């Protein structure tokens, strides 16, 4: 269910104060479980998870912000300097623990400045660790710039990989997180409705992309990380990209959307056909659909990822030489504040390294089939419940939908 996109004074809807508290507690608990006294994170999704703060997409590939989180302490946010005063006013839960970030903006500063700033920031971090009495404990880190890593190690701090700690903390979703994911999905489904209502021969793939973005931004998407619109003879083999190709009668059309609502992502493919589908197209689509739901029907607590992959074809059955070449054709992955979360379900490694599915995980599962000039890609999102799973995505996928198709979802 979704309860609305706005917080109000008269209904709880999504309890953001609880969301902030629960996310931080989950990360705190995971630190202790993994024997880490502190973590230093640069990934924008992780910074948001711990501090409930963000800057827009322009900072996401700059490594321009970070958070230091010491177990049982308030997180310390290192922010782009000019954004600090706004953060103090708009994010009061962090106002007493926010300081300027010192970095090199992915090396774009003069090289001497990059090196000097790396030393300065390393000393800042060391001083905070010393203040909390954990300077001699291992410091977990997710991603960073090499000059800073070397400078931090030069202070005597032992840096260890904390990516697994972060992802394990995020794996089980709270009810508020599931609600945010489902709202994000609902926004994408409105854009899919625009597709089946208006797409016709002569429209270009990039026009469809723009039309969908307009709908999704209007409904509250804060960011759209990806829309792949793929049609006709571009649909097989899978290109994982979009173009300016224009549609023709009889084309199959599949679309992938990674949208963001209050930090929470979708990964959502649907396939359509322009006009009446051929028998071959119906067979290609049914193959992808049957594989998908054979996998979905296995998702429940206690099942291993090794069991789920048995529902999907091998690389050889797909006519490919190896599972490396087939990777991401039949796939499941966790999803939440990160686009890919734990666990990942794939024939590439789930047989040798299985993971156990747990209640509260949210998955995106996707399958693909193709032949000749026709390809079908379908993806659904589910939350793992006590006894099985609940389908969060609701756009009808049982039958191949013809476009345009106003008021009649079945061809």
Q: Which domains does the chain have, with CATH numbers?
A: 16-170 (3.40.350.10), 175-403 (3.90.230.10)
At 76 the three-state DSSP class reads strand
Token readout for 201 is 């021969």
pLDDT of 7 reads: 84
Cβ-based neighbours of 374, under 8 Å, separated by 6 or more = 235, 236, 252, 280, 281, 284
C-alpha pair distances (Å), 155 with each of 67, 112, 127: 19, 19, 10
pLDDT of 410 reads: 47
Provide the percentage of residues in the chain whose pLDDT is more than 90.
Answer: 92
> pLDDT tens across 290-301, in order?
999 999 999 999
Given CA atoms 396, 402, 406, 407 in this order, what sign does their dihedral have? negative
Burial (CB count <10 Å: 0-12, 13-18, 19+), residue 122: buried
Instruction: Compute the distance between CA of residue 333 and CA of residue 340 in angstroms, rounded to an integer.
Output: 6
Do 358 and 305 touch, CB atoms closer than 8 A? no
Helical (H) or strand (E) element with 140: strand 139-141
Instruction: Compute the distance between CA of residue 181 and CA of residue 393 in angstroms, rounded to an integer.
Output: 10
Q: Tokens 């970030």 label which residue?
A: 101
Cβ-based neighbours of 349, under 8 Å, separated by 6 or more = none
Residues 60-82, buried b or exposed e (16+ Cβ, 10 A)? bebbbbbbbbbbebebbbbbbee
> pLDDT tens across 203-223, in order?
999 999 999 999 999 999 999
Angle of CA points 49, 54, 59, to nearest 5°: 120
The CB density around residue 249, as the number of other CB atoms within 10 Å, is 11
Token readout for 143 is 């991603």
C-alpha pair distances (Å), 261 with each of 5, 182, 368: 9, 9, 26
Do 233 and 247 touch, CB atoms closer than 8 A? no
Do 139 and 43 touch, CB atoms closer than 8 A? no
Instruction: Compute the distance between CA of residue 105 and CA of residue 87 in angstroms, rounded to an integer.
Output: 20
Residues 146-172, buried b or exposed e (16+ Cβ, 10 A)? ebbeebbeeeebebeebeebbbbbbbb
At 300 the three-state DSSP class reads coil
Q: In what order do the strands lie in the sheet with 38-41?
A: 98-100, 76-79, 66-70, 38-41, 139-141, 159-161
Instruction: Compute the distance between CA of residue 156 and CA of residue 154 in angstroms, rounded to an integer.
Output: 5
At 136 the three-state DSSP class reads coil
Do 69 and 43 touch, CB atoms closer than 8 A? no
The CB density around residue 185, as the number of other CB atoms within 10 Å, is 25
pLDDT of 238 reads: 94
Do 117 and 104 touch, CB atoms closer than 8 A? yes
For the whole model, what pTM was predicted? 0.96
pLDDT tens track, the chain, 411 positions: 667 888 888 888 899 999 999 999 999 999 999 999 999 999 999 999 999 999 988 888 899 999 999 999 999 999 999 999 999 999 999 999 999 999 999 999 999 999 999 999 999 999 999 999 999 999 999 999 999 999 999 999 999 999 999 999 999 999 999 999 999 999 999 999 999 999 999 999 999 999 999 999 999 999 999 999 999 999 999 998 889 999 999 999 999 999 999 999 999 999 999 999 999 999 999 999 999 999 999 999 999 999 999 999 999 999 999 999 999 999 999 999 999 999 999 999 999 999 999 999 999 999 999 999 999 999 999 999 999 999 999 999 999 999 987 555 544
pLDDT of 409 reads: 53
Question: Which of 98, 93, 97, 69 lies closest to 83, judged by CA?
Answer: 98
Terminal-residue alpha carbon distance, the chain: 28
pLDDT of 1 reads: 61
pLDDT of 411 reads: 45
pLDDT of 202 reads: 97
């Amino acid at each position: 269910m979704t309860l609305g996109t706005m917080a109000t004074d008269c209904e709880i809807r999504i309890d953001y104060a609880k969301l902030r508290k629960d996310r931080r507690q989950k990360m705190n608990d995971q630190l202790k479980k993994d024997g880490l006294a502190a973590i230093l994170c640069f990934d924008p999704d992780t910074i948001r998870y711990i501090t409930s703060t963000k800057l827009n997409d322009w900072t996401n590939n700059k490594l321009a912000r970070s958070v230091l989180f010491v177990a049982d302490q308030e997180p310390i946010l290192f922010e782009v300097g000019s954004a600090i005063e706004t953060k103090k006013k708009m994010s009061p839960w962090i106002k007493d623990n926010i300081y300027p970030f010192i970095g090199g903006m992915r090396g774009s500063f003069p090289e001497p400045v990059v090196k000097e700033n790396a030393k300065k920031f390393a000393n800042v971090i060391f001083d905070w660790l010393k203040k909390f009495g954990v300077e001699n404990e291992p410091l977990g880190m997710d991603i960073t710039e090499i000059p800073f890593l070397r400078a931090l190690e030069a202070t005597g701090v032992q840096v260890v990989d904390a990516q697994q700690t972060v992802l394990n903390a995020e794996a089980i979703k709270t009810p508020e997180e599931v609600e945010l994911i489902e709202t994000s999905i609902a926004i994408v489904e409105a854009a899919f409705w625009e597709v089946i209502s208006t797409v016709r021969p002569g429209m270009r793939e990039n026009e469809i992309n723009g039309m969908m973005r307009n709908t999704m931004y209007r409904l509250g998407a804060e960011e759209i990380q990806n829309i792949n619109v793929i049609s006709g003879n571009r649909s097989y083999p899978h290109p994982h990209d979009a173009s300016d190709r224009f549609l023709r009668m009889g084309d199959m059309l599949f679309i992938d959307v990674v949208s963001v609502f209050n930090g929470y992502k979708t990964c959502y493919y649907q396939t359509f056909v322009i006009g009446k589908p051929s028998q071959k197209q119906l067979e290609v689509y049914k193959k992808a659909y049957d594989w998908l739901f054979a996998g979905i029907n296995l998702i429940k607590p206690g099942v291993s990822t090794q069991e789920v992959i048995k529902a999907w074809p091998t690389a050889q059955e797909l006519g490919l030489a190896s599972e490396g070449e087939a990777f991401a054709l039949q796939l499941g992955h966790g999803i939440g504040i990160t686009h890919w979360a734990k666990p990942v379900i794939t024939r590439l490694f789930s047989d040798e390294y299985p993971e156990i599915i747990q209640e509260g995980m949210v998955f995106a599962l996707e399958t693909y089939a193709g032949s000749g000039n026709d390809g079908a890609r379908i993806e659904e999102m589910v939350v793992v419940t006590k006894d099985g799973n609940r389908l969060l995505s609701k756009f009808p996928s049982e039958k191949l939908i013809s476009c345009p198709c106003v008021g009649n979802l079945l061809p």
